[in-house]
Amino acid sequence: MTSSHKDNSRRNFIRIAAAGSIALGAAPITNVFGSGNFTDADLLASEKKIPAGKGKSVMGLRCEPLKIVRIGLVGLGMRGSEAVRRLIQVEGTELIAIADVVPKAVKDANKQITDLGLKPAIEYTGEEDWKKICERDDIDLVYQCTPWLLHTPIAVYAMKHGKHAACEVPSAVTLDQCWDLVNTAEETQRHFMMLENCCYDFFELNTLNMARNGVFGEILHAEGAYIHDLRWLKFMKEGGYHDMWRLEYSKIHTGNPYPTHGLGPVAQLMGINRGDRFDYLTSVSTNQVGMSLYAQDKFGANSPEAVQSYKLGDMNTTVVRTIQGKTIMIQHDTTSPRPYNRIHRISGTKGMAVKYPEEQIALEPNAHEFLKKEDFDALMKKYEHPLAVQMGEKAKKVGGHGGMDFIMDYRLIYCLRNGLPLDQDVYDAATWCSIVPLSEKSVLNRGNSIDVPDFTRGAWETAKPWPIVSIE
């Protein structure tokens, strides 16, 4: 993002929240538990309080194949500008319209498009112009990379206007929003995909293939995380997050606001919503120390940033137990000075794998030790995922977190063009994102256990786990 990107008038966080809630016709979404579906008491028995559905299940939804996927892209900041670069390199796409409230971001995005010899996209720069994009009749997919509080409102509006919707992580931050996504997808029979790119990283795909082939035996436990020191970016006043939205969120929320990078890959691998589902969770957070210390060092002890209180604990640890008696541990820490880590640890009856800090596997009969490099390499080769075989090279060239972002985009477009169910559906998005409000609720209640709603309304019992897919 360029500095002039930030020269634009600064719209505050509350206005973003308000725009989102007006669009939904709901109460302000700064209330973490949403506006109406659940009282605190209801939440404790939430799976018994499933709201009435508005349409039929979209589990395994297939829609009309699209020859060309015509895209409207909203949010062209750090992530969205990269999405433009990738999407114009995916076969069978046309970027029809682009929107950002920062005009320079829109111009820069269009330059990427025209530099490739493609037709320029129609430009939008108004605060609510995403509605105009959703209302167009020449768009199939609304793809968005906006700040968190806009995700559900835009996706819901897009589906209600007949579009498929794809949205950055997390797609929802309240239970109401989770249900809004599910209910709208069911009502409109449109696809919704949360763009959880980590599901397409190479080691994650590889261990998924191994898991499906029984290499780890029965998987009873997994761990994932988002441990990424983002202090510098959160406190960056120019050139960082639009209106410092991530820092604003940290002021008013605790728990795990960003669970899906670690959770998505292990949830898919363990067949969550497909043969198993989340039952309940318990979550605890440390005190908040690091953001204040950072602010004191950077801006001075009496600076507004240093005296400001932040609710987000430095480290959050959430443990989810599933109906089939499995556990998943998810951590979030964007404050502590530590190397980047998503853990990705899988533990089964025949062995285990872990990704960070180093990709390693240990298997029976000698699981006391990690495999030697040549045995590890041979196993990785044997179980290389078809998506990595078919697209790995090109994905690494296009890039985007080492290639996983391109594989994700390519698969999304491929599924839409071939009328296939998407790899991640609205139930995955709602379930994975429900950790955001439920972990906060648990943290605020001394780690007491909280039920996780069954967003599939029972469809998990017969749905089959995500298969090993390809692009052929």
Q: Closest distance between ligand NAD and the C-beta of residue 147, in Å?
A: 5
Q: Under rule CB under 6 A, which residues in 402-461 are in contact with ligand NAD? A: none
Residue type, 163: K
Work out how close the CB of 168 gets to ligand NAD at its nearest, in angstroms, rounded to a whole number: 4
Spatial separation of the C-alpha atoms in residues 184 and 171, rounded to whole Å? 14
Task: Give the integer Cα–Cα distance in Å for 59 and 458.
Answer: 11
CB nearer ligand NAD, residue 217 or residue 399: 399
313 touches 256 (CB < 8 A):
no
Q: Report the residue from 46, 197, 283, 347 that binds ligand NAD according to the rule CB under 6 A.
A: 197
- Report d(CA 303, CA 410) in Å as an integer: 46
Rank residues 109 and 215 by Cβ distance to ligand NAD and give the closer one: 109
> Is the distance from CB of 169 to CB of 192 less than 8 angstroms?
no
Pattern of binders to ligand NAD over 249-278, x per CB under 6 A? ------------------------------
Burial class (CB in 10 A: 0-12, 13-18, 19+), 171: buried
Single out the segment in contact with ligand NAD by CB under 6 A; choices: 71-79, 114-122, 331-339, 449-457.
71-79
CB of 79 to ligand NAD, least distance (A): 3
Nearest residue to ligand NAD by CB is 77
Minimal distance, residue 296 CB to ligand NAD, in Å: 25
How many Å from the N-terminal Cα to the C-terminal Cα in the chain? 36
CB of 78 to ligand NAD, least distance (A): 4
Which CB atom, from 76 or from 422, has the smaller least distance to ligand NAD? Answer: 76
Cα–Cα distances in angstroms (integers) from residue 259 to residues 324, 423, 461, 464, 467, in the given order:
21, 18, 24, 24, 23
7 binds ligand NAD (CB under 6 A): no
Given 13, 33, 38, 130, the residue binding ligand NAD (CB under 6 A):
130
Parallel, antiparallel, or unpaired for β 278-285 and 316-322? Answer: antiparallel
Closer CB to ligand NAD, 190 or 228, in the complex: 228
Q: Which is nearer to ligand NAD, 42 or 128 (CB)?
A: 128
Let me know: does 193 contact 185? Beta carbons within 8 Å: no
Per-residue interface string for the shown chain with ligand NAD, residues 87-106, x marking contact by CB under 6 A: ------------xxxx--x-
Among residues 146, 183, 283, 347, the one that binds ligand NAD under rule CB under 6 A: 146
Pick 145 or 247: Cβ nearer ligand NAD: 145
Q: b/e string for 12-50 if b means 16 or more Cβ within 10 A? A: ebeebbebbbebbebeebbbbbbbebbeeeebbebbeeb
Closest by CA position to 427, among listed 53, 17, 37 = 53
Give the nearest distance from C-beta 336 to ligand NAD in angstroms: 19
Which of 195, 242, 260, 201 is CA-nearest to residue 78? 242
Where does this chain bind ligand NAD (CB under 6 A)?
1, 16, 74-80, 99-102, 105, 127, 130, 145-148, 150, 168-169, 197, 241-242, 401
